[in-house]
């Protein structure tokens, strides 16, 4: 495995070399210099051709000032993690980048297949997780989600092996809100406390550097929704298990022109106030990675003309959609799927453009 992790010194060194990046491209993630754009690796077929595309995209992205790479063990049946691992090993071997300059994030929670869907999913699950006692009766909800300490430890070990990294820079519990479909609030709190305890131990062991939650619905639901997560409550749990120097530092949530809830919906209680998820994260000192920045390609076409008017200097709708996300106050990194060099080049032009100022952003929201 490749030793080391992203560091403040290493990421600052990388940012200093990224001369094409505009002011405002790099932001502070728990002391690291994190770019405002990151590579997503969710979509694609489970085949060698897509593996190769992702390897080429990661290689080009790192060369173009995009040093956050996001994945999950269940993406493409573990193949996305392995493609990233191959790309990083090659980049380091060629000395294009050093290990301490790149921020790698992955997720665990959903039970993954290995390379392809098995003919008998039940037999695979039993042989891989039940019989070795990695998962016990009652641990899995919805037929696919688990976040017990034993399971997370197993998934972290598998992800480290897939990525070829001794230490994962950001590790997320993947969509923990899904547990709320089957357990009540008190049981959910017990489970998330146990999960955070395991993740704090993983930090102590050097397997991960920091952790958080990657969600789809959890932080954007209306107040009172059964699957709404309280960020303040999660930070409180992290303090209880990890002390004042806990390592709950990052969340991931969907945010884009079509899904603006994280910015516009007041659904998070922080102290005596109810604020948006992005504002809650700011107040609680949690970095935000925005997923689905171009809504899986749907925002790359047919945007209204007002978007181009208020997001000048960009040539395509995909660039404008990314500029909107990375310019939103409270968003740290806008993640976007990149599995071609052409996509990387298109997105890198956004990195070379300064985020729009707050005054213009306000006008865009009022006009839109």
What does the pLDDT look like over 294-325, one tens digit per residue?
987 777 777 888 788 888 889 899 999 999 99
The pTM score is 0.96
Q: Is the pLDDT of residue 16 over 90?
A: yes
For residue range 86-145, what is the model confidence (pLDDT) as tens digits?
999 999 999 999 999 999 999 999 999 999 999 999 899 989 999 999 999 889 999 999
Please tell me the CATH code under which domain 8-367 is placed: 3.20.20.100
* Separation between Cα atoms, residue 105 and residue 359, nearest integer Å: 32
Mean of the per-residue pLDDT values of the chain: 94
| Element (DSSP H or E) covering residue 344 | helix 341-351
Q: For residues 358 and 228, which has the higher predicted lDDT (pLDDT)?
A: 228
**Which residues have CB under 8 Å from 346's CB, separation 6+?**
316, 318, 319
pLDDT value for 144:
93
For residue range 232-248, what is the model confidence (pLDDT) as tens digits?
999 999 999 999 999 99
pLDDT value for 312:
85
pLDDT value for 270:
97
Q: Is the pLDDT of residue 65 over 90?
A: yes
pLDDT (average), residues 55-83: 97
**Which residues have CB under 8 Å from 281's CB, separation 6+?**
231, 251, 287, 288, 330
CA distances to 225, 271, 310, 314, 366 from 222, rounded to whole Å, are: 6, 18, 29, 34, 22
pLDDT value for 313:
85
| Nearest Cα residue to 314 out of 341, 279, 270, 346 | 346
Q: Is the pLDDT of residue 251 over 80?
A: yes
Contact 182, 191 (CB under 8 A): no
- With cut-offs at 50, 70 and 90, classify the pLDDT of residue 367: low
pLDDT value for 368:
56
pLDDT value for 19:
82
């Amino acid at each position: 495995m490749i030793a080391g992790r992203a560091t403040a010194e290493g990421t600052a060194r990388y940012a200093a070399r990224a001369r094409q990046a505009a002011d405002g491209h790099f932001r502070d993630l728990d002391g690291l210099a994190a770019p405002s754009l990151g590579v997503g690796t969710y979509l694609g077929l489970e085949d060698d051709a897509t593996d190769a595309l992702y390897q080429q995209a990661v290689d080009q992205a790192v060369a173009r000032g995009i040093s956050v790479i996001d994945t999950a063990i269940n993406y493409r049946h573990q193949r996305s993690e392995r493609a990233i691992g191959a790309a990083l090993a090659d980049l380091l071997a060629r000395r294009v980048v050093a290990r301490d300059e790149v921020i790698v994030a992955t997720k665990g929670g959903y039970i993954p297949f290995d390379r392809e869907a098995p003919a008998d999913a039940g037999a695979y699950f039993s042989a891989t997780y039940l019989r070795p006692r990695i998962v016990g009766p009652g641990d899995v909800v919805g037929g696919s989600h688990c976040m017990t300490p034993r399971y997370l430890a197993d998934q972290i070990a598998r992800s480290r092996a897939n990525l070829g990294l001794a230490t994962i820079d950001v590790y997320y519990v993947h969509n923990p809100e899904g547990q709320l479909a089957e357990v009540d609030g008190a049981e959910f709190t017990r489970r998330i406390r146990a999960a955070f305890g395991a993740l704090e131990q993983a930090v102590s062991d050097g397997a991960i550097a920091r952790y958080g939650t990657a969600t789809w619905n959890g932080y954007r639901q209306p107040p009172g929704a059964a699957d709404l997560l309280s960020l303040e409550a999660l930070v409180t749990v992290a303090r209880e298990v990890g002390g004042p120097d806990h390592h709950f530092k990052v969340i991931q949530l969907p945010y884009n022109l079509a899904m603006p809830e994280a910015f516009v919906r007041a659904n998070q209680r922080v102290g005596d106030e109810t604020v948006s998820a992005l504002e809650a994260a700011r107040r609680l000192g949690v970095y935000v990675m925005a997923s689905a920045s171009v809504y899986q390609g749907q925002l790359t076409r047919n945007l209204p003309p007002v978007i181009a008017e208020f997001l000048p200097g960009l040539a395509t709708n995909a660039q404008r959609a990314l500029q909107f996300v990375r310019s939103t106050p409270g968003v740290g990194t806008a993640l976007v799927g990149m599995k071609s060099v052409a996509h990387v080049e298109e997105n890198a032009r956004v990195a070379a453009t300064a985020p729009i100022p707050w005054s213009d952003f306000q006008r865009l929201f009022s006009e839109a």
